[in-house]
Amino acid sequence: MPQLRLALNQIDSCVGDLARNAETIVHWTRHAAGQGAHLVAFPEMALTGYPVEDLALRPSFVEASRAALSELAARLAAEGLGDVPVVVGYLDRCPQALPRYGRPAGAPQNAAAVLHRGAVALSFAKHHLPNYGVFDEFRYFVPGDTLPVVRVHGVDVALAICEDLWQEGGRVPAARRAGAGLLVSVNASPYERDKDDTRLELVRKRAQEAGCTTAYLAMIGGQDELVFDGDSIVVDRDGGVIARAPQFAEGCVLVDLELPAAAPEAPSGELDDGLRVDHVVLSAGPPVQAPAPPERLTPRPPSPYPPQTLGGQAERLDDLEEIYTALVVGLRAYVAKNGFRSVLLGLSGGIDSALVAALACDAVGAEQVHAIAMPSRYSSEHSIGDAAELARRTGLHFRTVPIGPMFDSYMAALGLTGLAEENLQSRLRGTLLMGLSNQEGHLVLAPGNKSELACGYSTLYGDSAGGYGPIKDVYKTVVYELARWRNEAAAARGTPPPIPEHTIDKPPSAELRPGQVDTDSLPDYAVLDRILELYVDRDRGHAEIVAQGFDAALVTRVLRLVDHAEYKRRQYPPGTKISAKGFGKDRRLPITNHWREGA
């Protein structure tokens, strides 16, 4: 049987940075070719970054993507890499009108191309377009109608893009009918908690349906609120795992595959879902010689892309480590890709700001993290002490600015009472943070968690002020779990736990009035989060939630808190998405809404 060395490159692309993305593709192609790869692949829309959103509707960007693709093909050939076929995702346009979809000629397409010997040997567009959760691909793209197949060293390789594997039908059964020996799917599938298990079972199932070895290549890095976790997978035709890449790691997965030789007669005609076979022969015979075993290369400091080869089956991260890593990667990507050098947060001594501070130190380094304590007359001594202790343990920059004089001036002028007086303290802190951000150039991090955002337990222009919310998709109970995990991980490594134990153990409080605790306004978080998970994440109604054993009056109260807080959530900054349904693109409800569950 022919042997094919496949190179799957888990890379981090930046939306709109065509030059940088092309440079990354050239680098990893050079690395893969040096390791004897016969076929090199990059993720979905690797050249443009993903998701491009409304950039897809700008003809100038579409044409820039097409031009960059042609330039990339020419450059690969000029650098002696042209004989290695390279699969690259990019943004294209459909040459013909598609009346069935009501779209004229030139409509955008989520596409990929096979680059070979200085030219585009074959191109194709995504067939199944997702239109759920964070995906709006029917808004932007028209589907492809081909089954692309390239013959590489005597093996027929079918190609697909992301959703082509997630949905039934289409290119997967078509690959079986075409007699493909290998199916390669390029993806930019965002991270979600527990998605790695779902992904593995999906790839196994699709390999069995396609009747051939199947490779699932995934992107890594972060883009706005999305995180990409890698976890590329190769399985045999029976679903047995051949290779599985690490999560959240950039690198090249090299896999030696023994695959069936292609039939003498090339596949042709129309297959499942009306797909038309588009077959191109790149190399008909086997390699001249078997490739040498791949080497593990050591990082070269002058290169911005330390080369590494990822092989075998990587050890999986446990659930909390996976979530924590996703939050770190998301924050790091947002800071770096948006040109910030440092971050700033209010450090209250509470659990939320403590976790955000730990994440920030792990994401960008403690020397780039600035924190400020802003005590009021209601701030407890232990909270002030906990904030200072966290700063000491982590080494972040720390200062204290009491808000008492500012608060007294406002109160003398306005005479606020009750909730307005409490919220004034939070808004003064938000103003201080934003002022320092303007003065010193830091990105302000908002500390709100998903439980608080769900119930509106935050102050507009106060604790919700900021440019990024690292834990906005993390329920309060998970905030505590992550804090404990981070401390335990530090202890296991022999380093100081970053979060003071007292911060984790004490009852949560905003400390805006004497003796205040969160449970004065909210149910116990262990109960609240279970109700929120059913209502927010699973779209369960009042009756269904009560049927799970929750008190009807409590459910009514919680659901009304959630519904009334929609206007606040619309004004909250972006933040890392880790759940199947985060606030924002995943969950879109009207602000003006008179429908009430359980009314």
The residues carrying an active-site annotation are 44, 126, 162
- Tokens read off for 122: 């074959």
CA distance 453 to 456: 5
Cα distance between residue 451 and residue 527, in whole Å: 11
Q: Which residues contact 62 (CB under 8 A, 6 or more apart)?
A: 56, 91, 92, 93, 108
Burial tier of 11 (Cβ tally within 10 Å: 0-12, 13-18, 19+): buried
User: Where does 456-575 have alpha helices with state H?
Assistant: 476-493, 501-505, 525-532, 542-546, 552-564, 566-570
Query: Strand 146-152 to strand 309-310: parallel, antiparallel, or no bridges (unpaired)?
Result: unpaired
Element (H, E) at 398: strand 397-400
Q: Which of 233, 225, 221, 187 is nearest to 305 (CA)?
A: 221
Residues in the chain: 599
DSSP annotation string for 520-540: GTS--HHHHHHHHIIIIIS--
- CA separation for the pair 294, 402 (Å, rounded): 60
- For the chain, the C-alpha Rg in angstroms (whole number) is 26
DSSP 150: E
Residues whose CB is less than 8 angstroms from the CB of residue 338 and which lie 6 or more positions away in sequence, other chains included: 443
- Exposed/middle/buried for residue 234 (C-beta within 10 Å: 0-12, 13-18, 19+): buried
User: What is the enclosing helix (H) or strand (E) of 209?
Assistant: helix 195-210
Which amino acid would we find at residue 85?
P
End-to-end CA distance of the chain: 67
Position 81: which residue type? L
